[in-house]
Amino acid sequence: MATLADYGPEVRAEVKQVREVVATLHEQLIKWNLVVWTAGNVSQRLHTADLMVIKPSGLRYEYLTPSSMVVCDLDGNVVDGAEAPSSDTASHAYIYRHMPDVYGVVHTHSTYATAWAATGQNIPCGLTMMGDEFGGPVPVGPFRLIGSEAIGEGVVETLKKYPKSPAVLMQNHGPFTIGKDAEAAVKAAAMTEEVAHTMWAAKQLGDIIPISQEDIDSLNDRYTNVYGQH
């Protein structure tokens, strides 16, 4: 099995940088109230080699450091790190192998998104923000047991049906989000929780007013191509 020493200086330099990024982004999961105790995980794929950096399993967030992040290949084998990698490593690896534009994956158990997952309901697209961020509803994925690539398969198969969504609510489990890097996937996790909360509150008040698909597409197009600094 390869070790990090088998890779060149460019790869080792990227590993160092990505370890820092991934360790620091776990602080954002706490800041946005997306995880409790040791639940949840962040990973980022490298550009210089078929490797990813992921959280160690079951370590409390306050003990996470760049050096405790685990480097794995895209089959989930450990290439560098003293700790055992996240329980969801094989699923993150599956997503990277099957979605070549994805360089960040995040899993949380954020409260409202996970409540929708427990009921097996898509979050309906009733907010302009959802048109922007998700291009439609936030979809529910199938129930899958933890510990293999089965969750990753469920995420990928669900996103084939909802290609604009950066999030899947795995049934009875919680959100898995993707992005062009780990920061984008963390943002998607925060946005998922925000809309899950608002749409839950809206349901308590009455019926959701749907937004037409044409308007959703227009919102998503503007947000993707015009919004922000270009």
* Smallest separation, CB 32 to ligand 5SP (Å): 16
Q: Which stretch binds ligand 5SP (CB under 6 A): 12-20, 42-50, 55-63, 187-195?
A: 55-63
**38 vs 77, beta carbon nearer ligand 5SP:** 38
Contacting residues for 33 by C-beta, under 8 A, at least 6 apart: 110, 111, 193
CA 176/CA 185 separation, integer angstroms: 9
**143 vs 223, beta carbon nearer ligand 5SP:** 143
Per DSSP, the residues of 72-138 read EETTS-EEE-SSPB-TTHHHHHHHHHH-TT--EEEE---HHHHHHHHHT--B---SHHHHHHHSS-B
Based on the shown chain and the rule CB under 6 A, indicate whether residue 38 belongs to the binding site for ligand 5SP.
Answer: yes
Based on the shown chain and the rule CB under 6 A, indicate whether residue 44 belongs to the binding site for ligand 5SP.
Answer: no
Based on the shown chain and the rule CB under 6 A, indicate whether residue 153 belongs to the binding site for ligand 5SP.
Answer: no
Angle 80-86-87 (CA atoms, 0-180°, nearest 5)?
A: 130
Task: Show the DSSP H helices in the chain as ranges.
Answer: 9-31, 89-98, 111-119, 128-134, 150-161, 182-205, 213-225
Q: Which of residues 72-111 bind ligand 5SP (CB under 6 A)?
A: 86-88, 107
Q: Which stretch binds ligand 5SP (CB under 6 A): 54-62, 117-125, 126-134, 159-167?
A: 54-62
Based on the shown chain and the rule CB under 6 A, indicate whether residue 171 belongs to the binding site for ligand 5SP.
Answer: no
**13 vs 146, beta carbon nearer ligand 5SP:** 146
* Smallest separation, CB 199 to ligand 5SP (Å): 23
How many chain residues bind ligand 5SP (CB under 6 A)?
12
CA 227/CA 220 separation, integer angstroms: 10
Cα 177 from chain centroid (whole Å): 3
Which residue(s) pair with 177 in the sheet? 106, 167
Based on the shown chain and the rule CB under 6 A, indicate whether residue 30 belongs to the binding site for ligand 5SP.
Answer: no
Footprint of ligand 5SP on this chain (CB under 6 A)?
38-41, 55, 57-58, 86-88, 107, 146
